[in-house]
Each structure stands twice: as structure tokens, then as C-alpha cells.
Amino acid sequence: MARTILVVDDETTLRETLVDALEAEGFRVVFAADGRAALTVFRAERPDLVLLDLMLPELSGIEVCRIIRAESGVPIVMLTAKDSEIDKVVGLELGADDYVTKPFSVRELSARIRALFRRAEQSVTAENPPAVVDLGRVQVDIAGHRLLRDGDALPVKPKAFELLVFLLRHPGQVFTRDQLLERVWGYTFAGDTRTVDVHVRQLRRKLGDASPVVTVWGVGYKVAPARDSVNA
């Protein structure tokens, strides 16, 4: 069965171009031209991925992203203007998985979409992994895809959780941001490394002092082995 993609953009020409191109790629495509309609279509169709423009009438893309993420872990790719750096960061903070800056090539967009779908199909756990990784007050329930603090579940964005599990599987190994984009997001080309930084910040806010993610300045990130300091 073809995967369903929801395209949300108020620019008629761009929206129609995306619909035609994605249908040609074999996807089933539904669409909306404003934020309120986007939520209606999303709830009716339950798409497998959302392409979401940030500058929308009725409800902004930021607000639509926030509402969708509260209801679902579906992958969200934001479509942003070249100069909307703040909106990009806010969108990622709210749980979007990626963004593409206008103007963009359909080929690049398709590659990012397929990368997100591949990651959704693949397990990020190791072969025979521990069921739970204990970080002191915080536990990472790998099989249950949950973070727990003192036994209580912490809300966590799906991609941030995948990033944490990937790093936990490679303690002490340093990964550049481009390597993490390839290994966690599935990109085979250079992406925007701000995506990685935003998700690391999300993890640190959730885990607090229990965060094992260490910044290796000028290189990237790692999870410190137990003997290392986890402060960064």
C-alpha cells in the first residue's frame, strides 16, 4: 500500500507541483492550503508524513506542528523561507523531524522523505540490546521507546529518542553532526547540522544532570562511558 503524505502549503503552484511530483514517486498525496484545513485533513487521513509550510493562513505552521506533535509521532518536514532561521529552530523544538529551505529541489525533498521512512522502518536498537539503560534517576526503556525519570514517563520527540539510543549503542565514540544526520536521519548527503544540535538540546533539557551526551568541541557528540564526566 502506498504511503500517504499530507502537503500543507498556501502557494497554489508549489502545492500542485509537490502533489504531482510525489504522486509520480508512488506516494498517495492529500493536501491543505491553510492551518485549520491541515488539521482536519490530518485527523481524517492519518498520513504517514506531513510536509508543512510555516507561513500559513488561519493557523501558523508552528501551531499546526505543535498540535500534530501532541497527537502523533508522525514525521514532520517543515518547508521554510530562506530567512526564517528562528522559525526553523522553533519548529524543530516543537518536534518537527527536519526542514527544507525554499527554493528546494524535488529530488532533495524526496531523498529526505525516503530517509525518514527508512528510519521509521529500522530498529535503532543493537542486536540483543539491554531492555533498559540506567542513567541514574533516568532510565531509557529501549523496547518501550520511553524515557523514565523516577519511574515516570518523560515526553520525548521520536527523533531525539532515536539519537540518544544510537549514541548509547556507541559509548565513547565521537560522531560528527554530518555522521549523525546520516546514521540517525538516514541522509546520504550533507544536511543542515542545526537539526542535530536542536535535538541534543531537547535531550539535555529532558535528562538534566543525567544526560550522558557530551559535546566534543569542533567535532561533534558522543555518549561518555561510565568512567567519563557527562558534563558538557
CATH number of the CATH domain containing 156: 1.10.10.10
Q: Please tell me whether residues 113 and 153 are part of one structural domain.
A: no
Which among 121, 142, 172 is the end of a domain?
Answer: 121
Q: Please tell me whether residues 113 and 176 are part of one structural domain.
A: no
The pLDDT-based confidence of 228 (bands split at 50, 70, 90) is very low
Report which listed range, 72-81, 196-205, 208-217, is most confident: 196-205
Q: Please tell me whether residues 136 and 209 are part of one structural domain.
A: yes
Is 196 inside any structural domain? yes
Is 87 inside any structural domain? yes
> Quick one: pLDDT at residue 229?
33
Residue 32, strand partner residues: 8
pTM of structure: 0.60
Number of domains within the chain: 2
Which among 94, 121, 148 is the end of a domain?
Answer: 121
Is 174 inside any structural domain? yes
Is 70 inside any structural domain? yes
Q: Please tell me whether residues 104 and 154 are part of one structural domain.
A: no
> Quick one: pLDDT at residue 83?
60
Is 126 inside any structural domain? no
Which among 121, 156, 184 is the end of a domain?
Answer: 121
Mean pLDDT (whole number) for 128-150:
75
Is 195 inside any structural domain? yes
Q: Please tell me whether residues 93 and 73 are part of one structural domain.
A: yes
Is 228 inside any structural domain? no
The domain in which residue 61 lies consists of 4-121
Q: Please tell me whether residues 104 and 142 are part of one structural domain.
A: no
What is the average pLDDT value for the chain, to the nearest integer? 81
> Quick one: pLDDT at residue 232?
33
pLDDT at 177 over 90: no
Could you tell me the CATH number of the domain that includes residue 104? 3.40.50.2300
Q: Please tell me whether residues 29 and 82 are part of one structural domain.
A: yes
Is 102 inside any structural domain? yes
